[in-house]
Amino acid sequence: MSKTTIKDVAGLAGVSPSSVSRSLRGMGGVSAGTTERIRAAADQLGYTVSPAAYRLATGRTGTIAVVMPYLTRWFFAELLGGAEAVIRQAGLDLLLYHIGDLEMRKRYFSSGILRKRVDGVLIATLALTEPEVSALRSLDVPVCMVGTLVEGFSSVCIDDVASARTAVQHLINLGHERIALIAGDPREPMHFTVPPQRHAGYLAALGAAGLPTGPELEAQGAFTVEGGEEATVQLLGRAELPTAIFAECDEMAFGALRVLDRVGLRVPDDVSVVGFDDHPMASYFGLTTVAQDVAEQGRVIADHLVRRAQANGTKPARLGASTRLVIRATTAAPRNKAHNAHNAHKSRTLRATGTAGAALSAARLRRPALANGHDPLERPPGPRPDGHERLATIKKKKGETQQ
């Protein structure tokens, strides 16, 4: 049986061999309808472009590199899914680099590992150092960023400062005056770009309203459920409880909801909670949040990168992405001053008994509660004991387990 040639594909598709070559190699100059017909003919005949021939004919590799600090976190999985679909549709290969720690990051940027291996690079939410920027420029291929701006590189970004400010302003509009922040750790080894921007938005909203800010109202943790738990426990140990919490991401907000539930604080009756991202589980928790379409950002920036990599004259660009506030069940107006005094008493009880840490340990042993405080899978509805009574029970149970 003879080998299928480019002429066979051209004959079946009713086009010239040069059109087949340009289309299958992603070189442009062929209409979308014709390209679809050519690809259908190639698939029918089992014809594929030889990678070696492609590189020889075009001087390109047919590969796009995607660089991410995390792979399993929701945001990065969504972003990768959107980008991968566009890259695959363009007939290009995707080379994924996970730089999960500082050593891997240093090796990636210092070794020239991508040189002559890719036609473009997509980097997700990393705050690049000057040596890293120089290393990327030396590749002499288009570079696109997600979530950060670098001169000469394309980017897609939401306005994290304005979006965070919108979330906090929602709490201010409801009448909250003591608004806490659970934030990403600025010592994050991957130099994540989001925390400082959302922190700035939080401070800007409170400053404009003349409301208090300071270390007593802020706690830090990883951008995970566990990080949210740990940051919320920090807040519970402070002199006075907030009436509302802004979490810099939804996963942290989920952790906050778990801990608040375990210590007997109702959401939103006692404490309102706002997240950021609109994670798929946010609607299950009834979480008020700032929504962004992460997969669409991946598609938009990948499409731009593919067009630049195909040398069709596309220039570097700064692409914007929108956000919107989604109001659900975890926010409400604060209750009266007498109730706030009751919460202050709870705060003193938590600090005096030293049981906030026990709440965190217990929270990790059970499913998160819904926004109304009831977990239908684990606890029947009914009266709930006061916070210090529940913490005493948690502490006792924890002691029995340790024995």
What are the start and end residues of each CATH 3.40.50.2300 domain in the chain? 63-159+294-321, 160-292+326-402
Average pLDDT of the segment spanning 334-363:
59
pTM of the predicted protein model: 0.76
pLDDT in tens, 190-206: 667 889 999 999 999 99
The answer, yes or no, to whether residue 367 has pLDDT greater than 90, is no
The answer, yes or no, to whether residue 339 has pLDDT greater than 80, is no
SS3 annotation, 105-133? HHHHHHCCCCCCCCCEEEEECECCCHHHH
CATH 3.30.950.10 corresponds to the domain 63-159+294-321: no
> Could you tell me the two tokens for 368?
């998160």
What are the start and end residues of each CATH 1.10.260 domain in the chain? 6-58
Average pLDDT of the segment spanning 23-32:
72
C-alpha angle with apex 401: 252 to 350, nearest 5 degrees?
Answer: 50
Query: Cα separation of 398 and 403, whole Å?
Result: 9
The answer to whether the bond into 380 is cis (omega within 30° of 0) is: no
pLDDT given at position 385: 41
Domain range 6-58, CATH architecture? Orthogonal Bundle (1.10)
Query: Cα separation of 176 and 125, whole Å?
Result: 32
pLDDT in tens, 231-244: 999 999 998 999 99
- Domain spanning 160-292+326-402: which CATH class is it, in words? alpha beta
Query: Cα separation of 22 and 16, whole Å?
Result: 10
Helix residue ranges per DSSP H, 210-293: 225-236, 250-262, 282-285
Sequence-distant (≥ 6) Cβ neighbours of residue 33 within 8 angstroms: none
> Could you tell me the two tokens for 95?
């080379």
Greatest CA separation for the chain: 88
